Each structure stands twice: as structure tokens, then as C-alpha cells.
């Protein structure tokens, strides 16, 4: 596997006064270049701590994180790592630095010391990629949550990273904003080949991912394609995760003796599964 990020036996400990608390425990993980990975976990499962280690914002207490072969512990290549692996956070308001959309998107490339014409090109491309080009001269303050979050994504995209790590980017958005962000991420992944690592606790956002990793108590407890992960409703519920209503419905039907396959996720797939089951004994 061609890995963009390798996480090797990583442990991360927080110290709070006397007590030491391990948020991530001896975790290993490879992220394949060009893949779309979703990391699921409830609040406090260690998923955010892991996310911040992927671009060197947090340094592991023990173990190593390699980005394209570069160890994030190496201080001389810190900027290089952050340029390759961009990071988007939960609250879009706290990531936007400038009062004009395009000036904000320019912030990253400006820090890289690029030529003005190159910055312009990247800003325009990034804004087009998230479908916010028409808003380039607007004030972020007036935009909706989903639009602001897309500006934050554009701000990272303008650094032309290879990988985007997003830490619960939809947690503060309404359903419309959430849908906007998820479809934007899939477009960046399929059209531009950007590796996506999406951290969330909304399971339905993992529907079209290549791979789903479930975290609990600082460890990986499941790692598979979405259909296999979602069919295990019991485990997901036991680690405090949200289960889409389709999965819940199929699971209840199965418990009531219906011969349904609980792998189905979308409304259409679930309906097809139920129709099959209803007709099976006719």
C-alpha cells in the first residue's frame, strides 16, 4: 500500500496536574494515498487527539507519525508536513482570519512565500473547487455555516495539500450545511485525488467512504468498508455512536425474524432489502 500517512505504535498522554491520561493508546494506522477514510468515535474516544497528530499539531508521547516518510517530530520539516497534510476544524468562525473571503483563502499561500500571481491562481482554484468562487469578495461573517466551512476548506486547499484531515467539520452545521460539506469532500477526493480523513460522529457521513475506522477509548476497534461496519449495529451502539435510521430499521426487522441483510445503508438499498424480504416467503 502506498501510504501518505503512517501512524506507528502511537501513544498520546495528557497530563492534568498529578494524573496522566492516555487519549490514544499504542495505535497503528496506514492511510492510503488518494483514499477517503472516515474515523468514527464518540466524544472522548481519542479521535480528535489522533487527528491533530496526523499533521504534527500534536506530537506523540511515544511512537511515530510519518507523513510521506517525514517524521512529524522533526522540527526542521514542520512546515513541510503542515503543507502536505491540511487540517480543518469544527468551528468555521475560529479558522477564518481575514474579513474578505479571498484574502482569507490567500493566508496560507502567503505564509508559504509564493509569488503574488501564483497565490492568485491558487486562491481562485481553491474557491472554485469548493464552489465558493462567486463569494470571493464577500465578508465571511455574513455567510451561512456551511459556506464558512467551505471557505475554511478552500483556505487549506490553496496550500495544495495532498491530504485533508477534517476534525468534525459538520458538528456545528444544519442538515443543509452538512450535506454541502460532505459532497464537497467527495468531489475533492474524486476530481483532485486529495486524500481525505474525515473525523465525525455522524455515521451517515461515512456512507460513501472507502474505509471506516471506529475508535473507542483511544484504540481502533473496527476497520473495514462501510457496509460491513454498519451492519454491526450492536457494537456501534455499545460505543456510543449514532446509527442511521435505515440501519436501525433493518436491525430491528432482523431481530423480529425478517430475512434482511443489514448491510444496506441508503434509503433505496434499505427499501430494496425489505422488498426482497417481504417477497421471499410468498
Partner 1 sequence: MTVLEVKNLTHTYSGNTPFINDAVSRVSFSAQKGEIIGIIGHTGSGKSTLVQHLNGLLKPTEGEVFVDGENIWDNPKEIRKIRSKVGLVFQYPEYQLFEETVYADIAFGPKNMGIAGDELKKRVLDTCRLIGVKDEYLEKSPFDLSGGEKRRVAIAGVMAMKPEVIVFDEPTAGLDPAGRESVMKIIHDYRQAVGATVIIISHSMEDMALLADKLLVMNKGSLEMFDTAENVFLKGDRLREIGLNVPIVTRVFYELKAAGIPVPDNVFTVKRAVEVLKGIKAGERGA
Partner 2 sequence: MLKDITFGQYYESRSLIHRTDPRLKTVLLIALIVFIFLAKNALSMGLSVLFVLSVMAVSKVPVKLYLKNMKAILPVLIFTGIINLFYGEGETLVSFWKLEITTGGIYRAVFMMVRITLLIFLSSALTYTTTPNDLTDAIESLLSPLRFVGLKSAVHTLAMMMTIALRFIPTLIEEAEKIMNAQKARGADLENGKLTERVKALIPILIPLLISSVRRAYELAEAMECRCYNGGEGRTRMKQMHIKPRDFAVLAVCAVVCGGIITLNIMF
Q: What is the contact mask toward partner 2 in residues 163 to 202, using x (rule: CB under 8 A)?
A: ----------------------------------------
Tally of CB atoms within 10 A around 196: 20
Q: Measured in Å, how far apart are the chain's first and last C-alpha atoms? A: 47
- d(CA 27, CA 175) in angstroms, rounded, equals 33
- The one of partner 2, partner 1, none whose footprint includes residue 114, by CB under 5 to 8 A per kind, is partner 2
In the set 87, 126, 197, 241, which binds partner 2 (CB under 8 A)?
87
Site stretch for partner 2 (CB under 8 A), options 13-21, 30-38, 89-97, 209-217: 89-97
Q: What sign does the CA torsion over 162, 167, 172, 174 have?
A: positive
Residues within the interface to partner 1 (CB under 8 A): 42-44, 142, 144-145, 171-172, 174-177, 201, 237, 240-242, 244-246, 248-249, 252-253, 256, 258, 267-268, 270-272, 274-275, 278, 281-282
List residues bridging with 220 in a β-sheet: 215
Residues 112-122 as b/e (b if ≥16 CB within 10 A, e otherwise) read eebeeeebeeb
Is residue 148 a contact residue for partner 2 (CB under 8 A)? no
- Taking the least distance from each CB to partner 2, the nearer of 156 and 249 is 156
| Contact map string, positions 26 to 55, toward partner 2, x by CB under 8 A | --------------------------x--x
Of 46, 48, 8, which Cα lies nearest the Cα of 28? 8
Is residue 11 a contact partner of residue 25, using CB atoms and an 8 Å limit?
Answer: yes
Residue 77 within binding range of partner 2, rule CB under 8 A: no
Report the alpha-carbon angle 165-167-169, nearest 5. 105
Does 119 interact with partner 2 (rule: CB under 8 A)?
Answer: yes
Amino acid at each position: 500500500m502506498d501510504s501518505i500517512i503512517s501512524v506507528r505504535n502511537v501513544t498520546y498522554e495528557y497530563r492534568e496536574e498529578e494524573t496522566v491520561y492516555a487519549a490514544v493508546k499504542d495505535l497503528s494506522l496506514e492511510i492510503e494515498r488518494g483514499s477517503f477514510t472516515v474515523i468514527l468515535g464518540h466524544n472522548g474516544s481519542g479521535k480528535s487527539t489522533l487527528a491533530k497528530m496526523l499533521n504534527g499539531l500534536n506530537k506523540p508521547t511515544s511512537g511515530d507519525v510519518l507523513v510521506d516518510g517525514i517524521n512529524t517530530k522533526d522540527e526542521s520539516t514542520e512546515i513541510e508536513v503542515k503543507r502536505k497534510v491540511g487540517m480543518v476544524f469544527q468551528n468555521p468562525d475560529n479558522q477564518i482570519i481575514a474579513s474578505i473571503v479571498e484574502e482569507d483563502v490567500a493566508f496560507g499561500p502567503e505564509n508559504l512565500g509564493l509569488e503574488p500571481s501564483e497565490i492568485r491562481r491558487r486562491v481562485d482554484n481553491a474557491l472554485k473547487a469548493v464552489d465558493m468562487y462567486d463569494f470571493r469578495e464577500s465578508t465571511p461573517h455574513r455567510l451561512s455555516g456551511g459556506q464558512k466551512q467551505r471557505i475554511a476548506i478552500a483556505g487549506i486547499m490553496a496550500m495544495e495539500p495532498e491530504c485533508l484531515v477534517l476534525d468534525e467539520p459538520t458538528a456545528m452545521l444544519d442538515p443543509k450545511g452538512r450535506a454541502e460539506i460532505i459532497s464537497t469532500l467527495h468531489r475533492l477526493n474524486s476530481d483532485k485525488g486529495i486524500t481525505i480523513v474525515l473525523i465525525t460522529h455522524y455515521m451517515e457521513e461515512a456512507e460513501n467512504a472507502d474505509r471506516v475506522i471506529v475508535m473507542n477509548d483511544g484504540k481502533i476497534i473496527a476497520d473495514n468498508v462501510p457496509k460491513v461496519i454498519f451492519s454491526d449495529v450492536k457494537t456501534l451502539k455499545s460505543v456510543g455512536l449514532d446509527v442511521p435510521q435505515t440501519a436501525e430499521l433493518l436491525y430491528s426487522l432482523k431481530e423480529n425474524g425478517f430475512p434482511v441483510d443489514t448491510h444496506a445503508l441508503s434509503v433505496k438499498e434499505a427499501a430494496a432489502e425489505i422488498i426482497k424480504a417481504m417477497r421471499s416467503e410468498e
